[in-house]
Amino acid sequence: MINNDIANILITEQELDATVSRLAKEIDRDYAGSDKKLVLLCILKGSIVFTGDLMKKVGVPVEIDCMRVSSYGAGTSSSGNINIVLDVIRPDISECDFLIIEDIIDSGRTLSYLVGYLKHKGARSVKTCTLLDKPSRRVVDFTPDYVGLEIPDEFVVGYGLDYAEKYRALPYVGILKPEVYGGEDA
């Protein structure tokens, strides 16, 4: 059973629902009345579940787009070499307010790279929304515009987040047992 690999549940389904509702309200407040296109940019694959739930709760009109990036490096830490695997291709980038939807910020490299990338492509504006933040792990100075929950330095899975492509379908966010990934205490 997959649940046997989870040390404990860090964020329950109910807490996730309340957190996503709160973020949707903040987004509605900030983008209300805009006559520009708001694009929720889902960063595949980890943000699929979060984006799906968030888009249902946001009241302002949104479009959805996706990007996929990979950062070389196996296991539980990223290397910092960010590679665009799926790009956002649209002719109207200069008319779009992008809100990047990310599952979790760790070093901060992915989001800081993506913000710069979209600005360079001519986006009208770029903001960031992350469900989870591990501020203690930051390598580059980066502050997201919207944060769901700050969490301690633990490797978590579920609600879209994976380890080696597993556990994404869990409805909660759980701490993975270190022995599963050969981490400390393993």
Give the interface with ligand IMP as residue ranges (CB under 6 A): 46, 71, 78, 102-110, 155-157, 161
Distances in whole angstroms, Cα of residue 97 to Cα of each of 35, 39, 76, 100: 10, 6, 32, 10
**By rule CB under 5 A, what string of x and - marks binding of each residue 74-103 to Mg ion?**
------------------------------
- CB-hemisphere CA count at 13 Å for 118? 31
Tokens for 30, please give them: 């900030």
Does 106 participate in catalysis according to the annotation? yes
Distance of closest approach, residue 153 Cβ to ligand IMP, in angstroms = 9
Binding at 104: pick from Mg ion, ligand IMP, none (beta carbon under 5-8 Å per type): ligand IMP
Report residue 63: phi and psi, to 5°: -110, 160
53, 103, 106, 133: the active-site residue: 106
Binding segment (CB under 5 A) for Mg ion, from list 27-35, 38-46, 121-129, 146-154: 38-46
CA 16 centroid distance within chain: 13
Q: Please state the length of the chain.
A: 186
Q: Which helix (H) or strand (E) holds 71?
A: strand 63-71
Q: Which is nearer to ligand IMP, 31 or 113 (CB)?
A: 113
Binding at 156: pick from ligand IMP, Mg ion, none (beta carbon under 5-8 Å per type): ligand IMP
- CB-hemisphere CA count at 13 Å for 37? 15
Residue 98 amino acid letter: F
Sole binder of Mg ion in the list 19, 39, 46, 98 (CB under 5 A): 46
Distance of closest approach, residue 27 Cβ to Mg ion, in angstroms = 21
Tokens for 146, please give them: 């919207």
Return the active site residues.
Answer: 106
Binding site for Mg ion (CB under 5 A): 46
